[in-house]
Structure 1
Amino acid sequence: MLTKRRMLLCTPLALAVFGAVQAGAKERVIKIEARKFRYAPNVIELKKGEAVVLELTALDFPHGFSLPDFKIRADLVIGKPVRVKLKPEEAGQFGFLCDNFCGSGHEEMAGTLIVKA
């Protein structure tokens, strides 16, 4: 049985170890800018099983972001980053696009996610 004193001494150590494990498990953040009529970058390469966060920011218009094969969809408000998590479990090429009509040229606003084995 642990005494209160031992519990107090163990807690900071346990938190330090847990924090180190958490810090080592950080996901890669990929920043994507959306503006009429493109995403930058519009080609994103990942490894199969790699956990990432897509941080999307609309610069000029309330755009949308859709990555249908992963059932990911987000509304992008001007100047406010939106973060979506992704961990692809299969290799291939997958399209993403703006699904909020943003004017003439909207149909060109698309990109490719490439997942390598």
Structure 2
Amino acid sequence: MNHQHKRRLLLAGVAAGGLAAATGLALAQSQPQERVIKIVAKKFDYTPGEIRLKKNVPVTLEFTTLDVVMGFSLPDFALRTDILPGATSRLRFTPDKSGQFAFHCDVFCGSGHESMTGTVIIA
């Protein structure tokens, strides 16, 4: 293979790579931007207690607790996790329906546990 032929192949590869990169950029721009929502659990409260999401936009819920082991359950989406002191728990999902959905602590965390609830609102 002569020098001119190698140079043409190299330039063709660079052009194709640039096209692939530009196509990848266009695809990335058409995808919904994932949100990360930080939620702090403490006896007997979630902050925030109301979470607003957009239908079909991926989201990661990041949980921490300030005191004891807690749980998080969003039954309408079959989501649940334990929330452990000193750790971050993550749930990633893409809401596929609109409406208001209740979530609650499903690990007994003391007297007052039953009031540890919140709402996810999806539009």
TM over 0.5: yes
Residues 48 and 25 (structure 1), Cα distance of their counterparts in 2 relative to 1, 3 Å cut: closer
Tell me the percent identity: 47
* Aligned length in residues: 115
Unpaired runs of at least 5, structure 1:
none
Higher mean C-alpha displacement, 75-84 vs 19-28: 19-28
Residues 82 and 17 (structure 1), Cα distance of their counterparts in 2 relative to 1, 3 Å cut: farther
Q: Which residue of 2 aligns with 1:84?
A: 91
Unpaired runs of at least 5, structure 2:
1-8
Q: Which residue of 2 aligns with 1:38?
A: 45
Cα drift, residue 48 of structure 1: 1.4
Q: Which residue of 1 aligns with 2:103?
A: 96
Q: Among 56, 60, 65, which residue is 2:63 paired with?
A: 56
Higher Rg of the two aligned structures:
2
Q: Which residue of 2 aligns with 1:68?
A: 75
Corresponding letter in the other structure for 1:70: F
Residues 83 and 19 (structure 1), Cα distance of their counterparts in 2 relative to 1, 3 Å cut: farther
TM-score, length-normalised on structure 2?
0.77
Q: Residues 1-49 of structure 1: CA distance to partner in whole angstroms, max 9, x if unpaired?
A: xx79976996698578647855875411000000000000000011111
SS in structure 1 of the partner of residue 120 of structure 2: strand
CA RMSD of aligned residues (A): 2.4
